[in-house]
A and B are shown apart, each in its own frame.
Chain A
Amino acid sequence: MRRSIISYRFAVTVIAILFGTSAFGWILTELVPPDVPYQREIYRARWGDTWLWLVERLGLHDPFHTFWYRAVLALFFIVLVACLVSRWRSIVLRTFRSEPPDEARELSKRDHRLHLSWRELKWKSRDRRDVLDELEYRYGPEKRLAPGRMDVVFGVISSFLRGRGFRVSKTKEGGVIRFVAVAGRWRYFGNFLFHLGILVITVGGMVGSFWGETEILYGTDGDILPLGGTPYAILVDGFDVIMTDQMAVKEYISNVSIIDTVGNRLVTTTIEVNKPLRFDRYDILQSSYYVDEEAFRWARVRYSSGGNPVGTVVRLEPDEAFSLEGFPLVIRAKRFLPDFKIGPNGPYSETPNMHNPAIEVELEGEGGAQEGWLFLYYPRFNSRFDLPVQLSLVDVAPVYFTGLQISTNPGSMVLLAGIAAATIGLALLYIFNYRCLKGVMDAEGLILAGTGYRWKVSFREEFEKVSAGLVDALSDLGGGDA
């Protein structure tokens, strides 16, 4: 076998270095970047100038995008390429071809060996004649196996091994038969596919990180969002957040169309989390959403007099005045906050999410106007009005903005191909257990030696069984045609 340009030991060292740097980066991941001014000062106070300089220089707040981590990745990549380039022939060939041993001495290095001398091989039958006696009886009075008879004996060995799942090949030269029997040889091909797959994944990942783009676009009903550098755009037809009874988010659904420059709808579909749309070279994903912190579409408010808990529900649009039936009052919804909080400057929305939706209403009657807040989830905090009417907020439709992530990843197909190759490779590695027996046989006897690729104990058992079986098979040789 040709020597590889990169030693196995070096490759393992590189994997060890990658492991070490990744583990180091793993511990560091959550440092807040020092590029925020006050954070820098905190770090300076904690670590002093030198350490701060070191953290910034080495990018320890974001280790996986630093030059040193990239250098290790590059090294790993080069080693993997070098390994595959220099070894693929020998690895793949091993799947299809196995070399018989050059000489008997080669076998003495193997873990498991069986030595049989034709003269010593005992019969199982009572009279315990040895093989040579038997062969002499069958084929003539020679003391050693004659060349023609060797083939017969080898035929027995070979069919026995084939019966146990080994593939046997041999060479014969000058009265010596050298043979090799292998099982589970697809393992080598699996090994090759796996390493190739890892290489392809690395390439796909690099292509993606160099040339991939990603961007989040926000829009509400009717908005048109440009689709990256293409002549197409995304038209937001609608966006819904579907909640469960326990107010957990069940689904975010964007109804969108892809339109061309003149407004033709080319595709109309829904995009949900885990159901992205692929168009042109873009993946369009449901990424996030937010609620407009002031605007709303409508609110439904129930009003009733003291004695009547059912009351009537009205639907109010922003700033629209509505006369309450049976009361000399006009109601108007003035303001909406999705996450109501009281701050020094009065009410505000703490987040753009529907955590505590509230609307501000104004009631106008003969005695003047009164204002107050109604809460969707916490009605007990509703403002009290000095009027004979009771109000509660039944429902409110905020203005949602959908957050659509558009991303291109030119490496994604490459990466998926790599994953496929590596997965098949792993399956082969897992299913096939490579075992190899090599033997040299001449007129005096047989030496058989074996190595198990994976399991020492199981192979030892297997080798013992094979040896015993072989002795039996050879013993049967003399059986029938005497």
Chain B
Amino acid sequence: MTGKNIRPATVLVHQGRDRDPATGAANIPVYLSSTYHHFEGRAGEYDYARSGNPNRDQVEEAIALLEGGVQGFAYASGMAAIGGALCLLKSGDHLIAPDDLYGGTYRYLTLVLPQQGIETTFVDMTDPQQVEDAVRPETRALFLETPSNPLFKITDLRAMVDIARRRGLLTLLDNTFMTPLLQPTLPLGIDVVIHSATKFLGGHSDLLAGLVTTADEELAKRLKRQHNAMGAALPPFDCFLLARGLKTLKVRLEAAQNGALLLCERLMDHPAVARVYFPQLADHPGRAIHFSQAAGPGAVLSFELKDQKQVQPLLETVKLPIIAPSLGGVETILTHCWSMSHAAIPASVKNSLGIRESLLRISVGIEDPGDLWDDLVQGLERFKR
């Protein structure tokens, strides 16, 4: 089931390999074996599970096919994938990243990498000039996220690729929010695409995983060696679960995005809501750029309440959403960014970025959107009464 002309929905269902050659089983069996016998004293396709495993091959081929990469790499978590990809840098190198990036990545760039002699400058990436100005002789890479989390600021990927090419920089993009279905970025010239597959790609909130892919053979070779050497590979059972999750990605994402569009409209009209953040909005400053590089707004949005005191009653009242960090599951997940997803970012930084205590992020699941709205409204009205 391979070939360049196969459409994404088909790739998702069949992936690179979808049946067991030995038995014809419709799914590849879960190969837990840590090691492989060398028949006749010769190594076969597999020798040691950290270096390669049939279930991992399945998801690694799937992400490469979906993104248009030459090879994929599966990691034990999204952060392990980010750490693995950032190992393309070395001590003394400099990195530029958005000032409103995911809290876990921010922690990694500010508290782990500086010890290894890798420094990061954080800029507002919606402004390409700021990126240009931050480039130093030792700058090696741009780390990108678009839309940003949780304020949905849009970075112009073509402009970033242009800067990177002119200045000889690598571009690494965290494409978790959009998935390759909505935002295929390797064709735009992005060098390395990273996913927290814990989110939409896995889609059931029942596994942690990270995926990386690239269209560049040379980068793929380096990533492959690092992946094997560093050892944070995704275990076989989770590869199986992820492959299973991928099969329904398109139908899940379409349903969730429809739900998000409906909630966005209704939240905008609700008197308790001060502001909605979502690329679909007509007055969103990044709307045109977003839709020039992505096929939809996605299924996550944020909204700010007029009164911060209303946050707690809302969270106490709603019944459907899971109140938790994370996103991209079939279940709707409501996150208080200040205390959950962005807890690792200092309060002063959050304030300066506009991540207020009254901000909530909603990852819309595939429940009936009408039920979701009824549930949210109850929470929003409760405070008034």
A binds B: no
